[in-house]
Structure 1
Amino acid sequence: MGEEPRLIATDIDGTLLRDDRTLSPHTAEVLARLSARGTPVVLVTGRPVRWLKMVYEELAEPLPAICANGAVVYDPVADEVLRADPLAPQLLAEVARRLRAEVPEVSFAVEIVDSRQMRHETHYPLRWDADHDAIRAVETPEELLAAPAVKLLARSAEHDPDAFVALVAAVLEGLAEATHSSYSGLVEISAAGVTKAAGLAWYCARLGIDSRDVLAFGDMPNDVPMLTWAGRGVAVANAHHAVLAIADEVTAANSADGVATYLEKIFGMG
């Protein structure tokens, strides 16, 4: 990578946002200055499309987003999904079958309609948008798995997060991708080959930007593929140990505007 990257890719939660899930005015201003000078900034997140609105409200302008861990590429200006890579119903059913056999107490939810809607089992614990109009419980496994899903969510209260994702990855090896982005017993499952790196690579190819010219920021295991793919992968200081182990550099924590501080240094914006 040269002195100045051609594209900035950043995770949202735990990386760009503070611990209270708000964007600091300082970070918002740095991102606006980068966009004004013509450097593309892309949000690369495990979030569904419907969770972007709260971030866009704090930005000077909405930024393109790669959502659902790479399964959805979203243009907020046109409110258009440019690409989606869902798990087909038949594949969902096989994944669920294997996981129920291995982890009987597992509960499932699916992100459908390009992650604009969610369906979940009645006993699946909701953390964020339980009363959102797009969220609905289903009565049967057949109904849950009837539509293509850009992400299957599997929860187990009885497992350590890192141990649970390792178990799920082993059970689904060659069938689907498994990762996690929280410190609860939640595993996020995507179609085989679908990662943040794959979604970002597709988006960069449209712009004619090579991976070596991309600067990426992250904090959790679902960011590892993106950080290793990018020319420079930077972890925030609060990152998971798996991210700190592979990062090219470490910046300040999310609570201390680590992304903005690093960008100001790289682009001479102080």
Structure 2
Amino acid sequence: MHAPFRLVASDIDGTLIRGDGSLSPRTTETLDRLQQRGIPTVLVTGRPVRWLRQLYDQMAEPLPAVCANGAVVYDPDTDEILRAAPLTTELLLDVTERLREAVPDVTLAVEVDDGRSFWYEEKWPLHWDGEHHTVRVLSAPEELTSVPAVKLLARSARHEPDEFAELVSRTLGELATATHSSSSALVEISAAGVTKAAGLAWLCEREGIEAGEVVAFGDMPNDLPLLAWAGRSVAMGNAHPAVKEVADEVGLTNDEDGVAVYLEKLFQL
């Protein structure tokens, strides 16, 4: 009997790709077989749009993506942003003021232009971010809140990752949505109610697919809303403990091609 699922939703980093950033031949073949079966796969990621190219270059055909933790829905075939849910300039100003008061050493950055550009404060530890024209250091603090942003990022050198995420969440309350997906004290902040689940739900409604017909894969706390929403949720073997706790099942690690192995069995590929 074939699985009653009509769509596969997968996180990218720590989930679909291996630790070295590669998409394995096995995973590529599995995704191709799903497409041939008429079962679409959607990438649901914290990555901005501009960070998809590295993955698309490893695929026969690019996949649609829910980016920036649900703030952006992207169609790679037309290079079109189908939906964006940014933080307004007023909200950015309020959030950044609260963060600077609660976390004196906080350093901030924003994803703007629907995630095609990245602006960061001078102290932000930027090592590489693709094409230089897509990133720039801010010359004045007020520039950070001068335009809407699909994501605000906050760093602290004085806190542990989970501790910092909890601090930011308490500080912002229901004003905005805070999550994290890094091994460092980096928190990702979106407009209230913006999550991976909300972004994918919008896309699924557009395509006539219900939550119960979705199987989802993830590994970090920013995947929790997605995994709770989907009809079946699978945590990677390398997942954060909180993710393993809420998922329906725990699979193999990303370096063991956990997504591909699970899908081969589920869909009898």
Shift of residue 263 of structure 1? 0.2
For residues 38 and 256 of structure 1, the distance between their equivalents in structure 2, rounded to whole angstroms, comes to 25
CA distance in 1, matches of 2:130, 2:259: 30
Tell whether the 8 Å contact from 1:152 to 1:189 is kept in structure 2 after alignment.
yes
Q: Which runs of 5+ in 2 are unaligned?
A: none
Counterpart in the other structure of 2:241: 241
* Larger displacement relative to structure 2 (118-127 or 61-70): 118-127
1:249-268 alignment runs, 5 A limit = 249-268=249-268
CA contact (8 A) 1:30 1:260 kept: yes
Q: Is 1:176 aligned to residue 176 of structure 2?
A: yes
What amino acid does structure 1 have at the position aligned with 2:235?
A: A
The yes-or-no answer on 1:52 pairing with 2:52 is: yes
Tell me, in whole angstroms, the C-alpha distance in 2 between the residues paired with 1:229 and 1:127.
35
What's the counterpart of residue 19 of structure 1? 19
Q: Compute the displacement of 1:36 (Å).
A: 1.5
Does the 8 Å contact 1:157/1:185 carry over to 2?
yes
Give the partner amino acid of 1:220.
M
| Residues 25 and 130 of structure 1, relative CA distance in 2, 3 Å threshold | closer
Residue identity over aligned pairs, in percent, reads 61
| 2:116 corresponding residue in structure 1 | 116
Residue 41 of structure 2 corresponds to 41
Structure 2: distance between partners of 1:132 and 1:105: 27
User: In the TM superposition, what are the counterparts of 1:62-77 in structure 2 within 5 Å?
Assistant: 62-77=62-77
Instruction: Report how many residues are paired.
Output: 268
Aligned partner letter, 1:9: A
What one-letter code is carried by the residue in structure 1 that aligns with 2:230?
Answer: A
* Backbone CA RMSD of aligned residues: 1.0
Cα drift, residue 197 of structure 1: 0.3
- The ranges of structure 1 where at least 4 consecutive aligned residues each deviate by more than 2 angstroms after the TM superposition are none
The 5-angstrom pairing of residues 114-153 of structure 1 reads 114-129=114-129, 132-153=132-153
Q: Deviations over 1:78-116 (max 9, x none)?
A: 000000000001110110000100101100000000000
Q: What is the match of residue 224 of structure 2?
A: 224
Amino acid at match of 1:34: L
Matched-pair contact (CA < 8 Å) for 1:4–1:266: no
Distance 2:81 2:159 in 1: 35
- In the TM superposition, residue 128 of structure 1 has moved relative to its aligned partner by 3.7
Following the alignment from structure 1 to structure 2, what is the Cα–Cα distance between the partners of residues 95 and 49? 23
Task: Give CA deviations for 1:64-91 in whole Å, capped at 9, x if unaligned.
Answer: 0000000000000000000000000111
How do 1:87-106 and structure 2 match up within 5 A? 87-106=87-106
Q: Deviations over 1:107-150 (max 9, x none)?
A: 00000000000000011111441763200001111111101000
Alpha carbons 1:227, 1:233 under 8 Å: kept:
yes
Q: Which runs of 5+ in 1 are unaligned?
A: none
Distance 2:205 2:117 in 1: 28
Give distance in 2, aligned partners of 1:130 and 1:259: 27
Compute the TM-score of the two structures, normalised by the length of structure 1: 0.98
Report SS of the residue matched to 2:215.
Answer: strand
* Cα separation, 2, equivalents of 1:133 and 1:18: 28
Distance 1:60 1:111 in 2: 28
Matched residue SS, 2:100: helix
Letter in 2 for 1:6: R
- 1:153-211 per-residue CA deviation (whole Å, 9 max, x = no partner) reads 00001110000000000110110000000110100000000000000000000011010
- Aligned pair in 2 of structure 1 residues 128, 244: CA closer, same or farther (>3 Å)? farther
